[in-house]
A = this chain, B = another copy of it.
Amino acid sequence: MRKSWPYTTPGIPDEFFIRGDIPMTKEEVRTVTLAKARLGPGQVVWDIGSGTGSLAIEAARLIGNGTVYAIEQNPVARELIRKNIYQFDLKNIKVIEGRAPEALLPLPVPQRVFIGGSGGKLEEIINLLQIRLNPGARVVINALTLETLTRILVLLDQLPWKKEVVQVSVTRAVSRGNYHLLHALNPVWIIAVQKEGDEGGG
């Protein structure tokens, strides 16, 4: 049965998505990630390393007639994205097969970019974005490893982009018999950057 999510707030519960073995951005971190992107109607959004597509699906619901490009190299994950798109009955997500940055070249210029995974090509992706993005465009990177965090910070130090860095740590009370264990989710570093200049539209 298809899922319906009749609400305007993002943060669709994790269990609403089909997940398989692919790691998924948890709902609380997903919500903050979307907020830092500042989504709006008509935007073109790239979701690089889309995974289960949970971020792509939430974004698609928030951009009206805009389009999300979900770029993912793993065929198992792409299948999951397609299933989740079907579940939530969305028409404005295109699943793109291939690796960044090559797979990004034919796509229309985005106003918003999410980077959830970079397949070791973070520097090349950032270089491409620096060339192609228009003023006011925003990029939101989720870093789950020490190396991604370090690399993105070193890369951004050389760019004239406005940078915002937050770490979000969520602990959930998880039912265990008569108790609720305090279970920590892994912290996620959210790095939001905006290309110098104002957006033409929004």
Contacts and interface: CB of A to CB of B under 8 A. Distances in A.
Copies of this chain assembled into the complex: 4
Size category of the binding interface on chain A: 35 or more
Contacts of A35: 9-11, 27-28, 31
A35 B186 CA distance: 20
A9 B28 contact: no
Contact of A170 (B40, B168, B178, B181): B168
B32 A11 contact: yes
B176 A166 contact: no
Interface of A: 6-11, 27-28, 31-32, 34-41, 62-64, 144-150, 153-154, 164-173, 176, 178-187, 189, 202
Given A165-B180, A184-B185, 18 more contacts: A6-B40, A7-B40, A8-B41, A9-B34, A28-B32, A28-B35, A144-B181, A145-B173, A145-B176, A146-B179, A147-B178, A147-B180, A166-B173, A167-B182, A181-B186, A182-B189, A183-B186, A184-B186
